Structure 1
């Protein structure tokens, strides 16, 4: 991977347009010819080392932004969409074509993903005609939930303006101080905070200006909910500006995203970027120590670690995921090359599923994806207390991890053998697009491979998978 050529034409064009420069002026500042720049912007030539250095020296550009993270996400999403049985097996475009589309025509690639998503939603509606027939709103629209999820996904789960605003609000004096500051800020807005019933985590009465938080809520939850409400009341203009930029297609998506942005502000205020990044590095990403230091929960800390992608001050690129007992992904984000299935559950060989069997304990795993990329994975059960006798317990597990080259910076990876391939568990994204031919946990055949069936032999699987597409 170290010798892989860097094609970043879209990023170069975006940078030039943001600076308001013509191709001629931009080429002069980068010290290259106009035809050479044109070829790089159209991905006909890779970005040279000299251009990377010039970007950093001339414009203070964070060269890590030239990485193909967005393109790789789009490629993964397209591969999963193309694994849908609606596409013929012999019509699967080669991986090289998908990468070209993601790099050279990202808007077209995302339009394809939107089209496939619309198809899936129509297919689901047709599967339940008794509910859909006669409805006036039966036109195709993207799911508001999926639209918001994709917004954060393609922003690398880092919202710069909101993050800076939260950091300015916060102080470095600890969790008691941030709760006191939040209480004072709410009081200045005329809002009183009181304990509320266990069945409503947070309730706000705008007429009475009264905020209630469930009496059963623990400290991290209470602080987070106070900061969430403060974001809605005090940072409304900033949230609206961010929502305007996102251009959501439905009012429902915008409303859901507003909650997401308020949650983002709350987490960033509870764990302000600069102090949190420094503490993460000092503790070697010890989640329990960070939770005590910032008065946060384990899940809040893990999620915050996955957002440390500020240009010029990036932390370890983590992936973060939360799953329920059925294996359904309820939260997902990846600043790494590991991508999650957009539809369905996660790979059953991944240790996050085992976390339910060992509540309160961290599980460690070395894993390798089919493309040969190796990861260090951490998992833990984070079940939500019921708060009252007879109330249902919400059971979740979280997964946090990074590419294995960052493992020396992670305290949990100490003592693990990174040097032998046999130490790495073979995991994938989704069975339909996983290329592994010998997986004992495979649930369905891969759509990109031919199958052969021998009636006289039954091994782990009732079929054999060809190495050829």
Structure 2
């Protein structure tokens, strides 16, 4: 198999800018000529092995950063956007998309943002019922999508927030206290009274009375997490607001949703502090149940935290993490891998995460291959969230966690699986709208960039055939 050339011009320019070096000085440090560096920074030439080694030797640079980041995510997102019929026959080739993602990521994101706005407005208009009349709120931008994309392009890792939470966890450890006992004491010192009552509301804080109420019906892990969320909201206000200002959200609603997301991030990072959690995850070979017992967190919280271990210089396995409801709608998604999830619609029906609802309490394993030939190890598990009483509804989800198969030996769940057997891998895709497979028995809609031919006298797996235009 040919070695894939590494083009990382944006990363090289960012690194040089961070170091405050001119092109000439940077070239001298890397042992290359000025024209050669210029060509690499503009992606006219791939980054050589010598430059990779020099980056590590001269600057202690984590060379894995060169091959990760936004480029693959942007390319996948642009491919999906360009599959929209509005672009018809003008979609550029994949090579051009890669150049745009590598050389002009800000422009590529602007294109994605424009297409997202078009899609949302188009779908809103298509679903309007004349009987409802005009509703101005329907034409507003979706704050959920804006916040989702913010975390998506931050690689789901926020260094300042993560380190602030780690300091809190370290302070608790130095005092010999559990993180929840430390949080209760900290809140008490701030004049906050903690109550646990029989209520369906998970958490309620009254700023006037300084009373924090947690639901006694919820699981201990949920109570612990919500306690830390409130600690983050009250003790990290400056950091929270600075991060929100940096993100430049377009609506107050998006800013409010993001603030909750950041507080949740703080809670997870305080409950599972980065370095300690990374070491334990490696030691336990990423056994979710053992990590859940060790950190007093839920299976979902553990899986989500594993997907955030992307600290420069101390990265964990690049995982994808997703949560779906019973209709197949994705309610949480993040990927540090090349596998990206559809921005519109649900996940591929061939993926094992959908089967988790059929086998509650079990971990389902799957070896899967995407149309681009990349192979993954996938783990799925159902997650039920009881309301705490007979009449309270039970919310049911399934979570998926996975990584490229080359990391499978580091996962206890991959033991005894035929990871070297090509026949053991099931074909999966991202979304039917952009999936290239022509003979999938679960296809719901044709690929948008394919031409269809329909013959009423022939019925194969699909009632039509797809051809390249």
Pairwise CA distance, 1:304: 0.4
* Matched-pair contact (CA < 8 Å) for 2:200–2:217: no
2:182 and 2:264 map into 1 onto residues whose CA distance is: 17
SS in 1 for 2:217: coil
1:134 and 1:234 map into 2 onto residues whose CA distance is: 43
User: Which residue pairs with 2:17 in the alignment?
Assistant: 17
Residue 350 (1) aligns with residue 351 (2): yes
User: Which residue pairs with 2:456 in the alignment?
Assistant: 455
1:313 and 1:24 map into 2 onto residues whose CA distance is: 30
User: Which residue pairs with 2:4 in the alignment?
Assistant: 4
1:453 and 1:240 map into 2 onto residues whose CA distance is: 56
- Once the two structures are superposed, residues 87-130 of structure 1 have per-residue CA deviations (whole angstroms, 9 ceiling, x without a partner) of 21x22221111111111111111111111111112213323265
User: Which residue pairs with 1:337 in the alignment?
Assistant: 338
Pairwise CA distance, 1:47: 0.8
1:166 and 1:137 map into 2 onto residues whose CA distance is: 37
* Matched-pair contact (CA < 8 Å) for 2:83–2:434: yes
1:273 and 1:107 map into 2 onto residues whose CA distance is: 30
1:318 and 1:132 map into 2 onto residues whose CA distance is: 44
1:144 and 1:424 map into 2 onto residues whose CA distance is: 37
Residue 446 (1) aligns with residue 447 (2): yes
SS in 1 for 2:450: coil
Pairwise CA distance, 1:137: 6.4
Pairwise CA distance, 1:331: 0.3
Higher alpha-carbon deviation: 451-460 or 295-304: 451-460
* Matched-pair contact (CA < 8 Å) for 1:163–1:273: yes
- Once the two structures are superposed, residues 318-362 of structure 1 have per-residue CA deviations (whole angstroms, 9 ceiling, x without a partner) of 100000000000000001111000110000000000000111111
User: Which residue pairs with 1:323 in the alignment?
Assistant: 324
Residue 250 (1) aligns with residue 269 (2): no
Aligned length: 466
Structure 1 stretches of 4+ moved >6 Å: none
Quickly say closer, same or farther: Cα 1:268–1:131, change in 2 above 3 A: farther
Pairwise CA distance, 1:210: 0.5
User: Which residue pairs with 1:92 in the alignment?
Assistant: 91
* Matched-pair contact (CA < 8 Å) for 1:69–1:336: no
* Matched-pair contact (CA < 8 Å) for 2:218–2:387: no
Pairwise CA distance, 1:141: 5.3
Higher alpha-carbon deviation: 176-185 or 364-373: 176-185
* Matched-pair contact (CA < 8 Å) for 1:204–1:212: yes
Q: 1:366-381 residue pairs with structure 2 within 5 A?
A: 366-381=367-382
Pairwise CA distance, 1:156: 0.9
1:429 and 1:331 map into 2 onto residues whose CA distance is: 15
- Once the two structures are superposed, residues 164-192 of structure 1 have per-residue CA deviations (whole angstroms, 9 ceiling, x without a partner) of 11111114869971111111111111111
Higher alpha-carbon deviation: 141-150 or 324-333: 141-150
Higher alpha-carbon deviation: 343-352 or 121-130: 121-130
* Matched-pair contact (CA < 8 Å) for 1:69–1:337: no
If the length of structure 1 is used for normalisation, what is the TM-score?
A: 0.96
* Matched-pair contact (CA < 8 Å) for 2:85–2:449: no
1:205 and 1:130 map into 2 onto residues whose CA distance is: 42
2:141 and 2:108 map into 1 onto residues whose CA distance is: 16
Pairwise CA distance, 1:198: 2.4
* Matched-pair contact (CA < 8 Å) for 2:77–2:112: yes
Residue 153 (1) aligns with residue 152 (2): yes
* Matched-pair contact (CA < 8 Å) for 1:40–1:46: yes
SS in 2 for 1:432: coil
**Structure 2, unpaired ranges of 5+:** none
SS in 2 for 1:395: strand
1:125 and 1:370 map into 2 onto residues whose CA distance is: 31
2:132 and 2:25 map into 1 onto residues whose CA distance is: 56
User: Which residue pairs with 1:125 in the alignment?
Assistant: 124
User: Which residue pairs with 1:227 in the alignment?
Assistant: 228
Pairwise CA distance, 1:132: 8.8
If the length of structure 2 is used for normalisation, what is the TM-score?
A: 0.96
Residue 302 (1) aligns with residue 290 (2): no
2:390 and 2:135 map into 1 onto residues whose CA distance is: 41
Higher alpha-carbon deviation: 185-194 or 318-327: 185-194
- Once the two structures are superposed, residues 181-224 of structure 1 have per-residue CA deviations (whole angstroms, 9 ceiling, x without a partner) of 11111111111110134221100000111100111011111110
Quickly say closer, same or farther: Cα 1:453–1:135, change in 2 above 3 A: closer
- Once the two structures are superposed, residues 74-96 of structure 1 have per-residue CA deviations (whole angstroms, 9 ceiling, x without a partner) of 111111111222221x2222111
2:457 and 2:90 map into 1 onto residues whose CA distance is: 31
Pairwise CA distance, 1:255: 1.1
**RMSD of aligned alpha carbons:** 1.8
Pairwise CA distance, 1:242: 1.5
* Matched-pair contact (CA < 8 Å) for 1:118–1:141: no
SS in 1 for 2:70: helix
User: Which residue pairs with 1:409 in the alignment?
Assistant: 410
2:131 and 2:92 map into 1 onto residues whose CA distance is: 36
User: Which residue pairs with 1:393 in the alignment?
Assistant: 394
**Structure 1, unpaired ranges of 5+:** none
* Matched-pair contact (CA < 8 Å) for 1:213–1:222: yes
* Matched-pair contact (CA < 8 Å) for 1:125–1:132: no
Pairwise CA distance, 1:158: 0.6
1:420 and 1:307 map into 2 onto residues whose CA distance is: 30
